[in-house]
Amino acid sequence: MTESDPDALMERVAKVFPDLAGLPHRILGAGFDSVALDVDDRFVFRFPRHQEAEQALLREAALLGAIRARLTMTVPDLVLVASNPLFSRHHKIAGDHLLATDYDRLDEATRARLAADLALFYAEMHALDRAAMRLSGGRPVKPWLPADAIRAGADALPDALRDWAVAVIAAVAALPPDPHGEVFGMFDTHGWNMAFDHAAGQLNGLYDFADSGFGPLHQDFVYPGWISADLVARIIDAYETRTGLSIDRRRVHLLAAMLRLSEFAEFSAIGDDGAAAMAAEIERFSALPVPA
């Protein structure tokens, strides 16, 4: 498993890129799958922790190579470094995460611009040729937990939320197939994958396409909901205007609820501390009005 020692990782970088030796460096993020190293605030190097993560990085690099020139949005110029073990490099996209508290402070013009930029991103992603994306390594997105597992997890919620969860699960089960079928999408467009310039009020780019793939079109709109339901509504409005497609807001809302229940069940099953935070998020989300 890859270490999280920034100096040890920098030694690996410097062996391949000696011109970067001695520059400032720090751990940008360390998860189960990989460790990201920021070098001189200009480059990001990613080091897979295990074989499955290495295969995911190979696939992500191929997918980004296929889509980057077709997007207006800036995405990583990911380059694989043929070292042993393999790692990657890309130019850092300037900006920080966009969280719910950040969005609440944005003015009307900034919110409108953000929604328009993301709607264009969605439209361009969904227009990608599916056959070409399959040849580049595209595959179905990772499924959420099965409904039975989600229902079992909901038993750990307070009574009021449990009743809400059972209703959501039943409503999702009753949904017909997505009217727009499957598309290639990011399926991870939340604020932790955004490079947002808070001073300028501008989204500079998106990153982490490891979870991108083929899935129901409506499901792709779920993830900005971690930031704000208002942002989701604005994106959908702008997307409909741009593409001429009609988006079922109730379906998006139900899928967003199901995602939260799936994550709660997953956290609860492994005894993760995130279960309590997800329960609080479910309580917040359950109070939102269901779009018509």
User: What pLDDT does residue 1 have?
Assistant: 58
* Residue 232 neighbours by CB under 8 Å, 6+ apart: 221, 222, 224, 225, 252, 256
Q: Which residues pair with 185 in a beta bridge?
A: 213
Burial of 29-60, coded b for 16+ CB within 10 Å and e otherwise, reads: ebeebbbbbbbeeebbbbbbbeeebbebbebb
Q: Is the pLDDT of residue 37 over 70?
A: yes
For residue 130, count other CB atoms closer than 10 A to its CB.
14
Arithmetic mean of pLDDT over the chain? 95
The arithmetic mean of pLDDT across residues 61-85, rounded, is 95
CATH architecture of 6-91: 2-Layer Sandwich (3.30)
Question: pLDDT tens digits for 147-194?
Answer: 999 999 999 999 889 999 999 999 999 999 999 999 999 999 999 999
User: What pLDDT does residue 272 have?
Assistant: 80
Q: Using CA atoms in the order 66, 69, 75, 81, what is the torsion angle rounded to 10 degrees?
A: 60
CATH superfamily of 100-286: Aminoglycoside phosphotransferase (APH), C-terminal lobe (3.90.1200.10)
SS3 content of the chain, % helix, strand, coil (to 5): 50, 15, 35
For residue 27, count other CB atoms closer than 10 A to its CB.
13
Give the DSSP letter string of 136-188: TT--BPPP---HHHHHHHHTTS-HHHHHHHHHHHHHHHTPPSPTT-EEEE-S-
The arithmetic mean of pLDDT across residues 251-279, rounded, is 93
Nearest to 43 by CA among 66, 21, 70: 21
Task: Parse the chain into domains and list their residue ranges.
Answer: 6-91, 100-286
Question: pLDDT tens digits for 101-138?
Answer: 999 999 999 999 999 999 999 999 999 999 999 999 99
In the DSSP assignment, the letter for residue 96 is: B
Question: pLDDT tens digits for 184-220?
Answer: 999 999 999 999 999 999 999 999 999 999 999 999 9
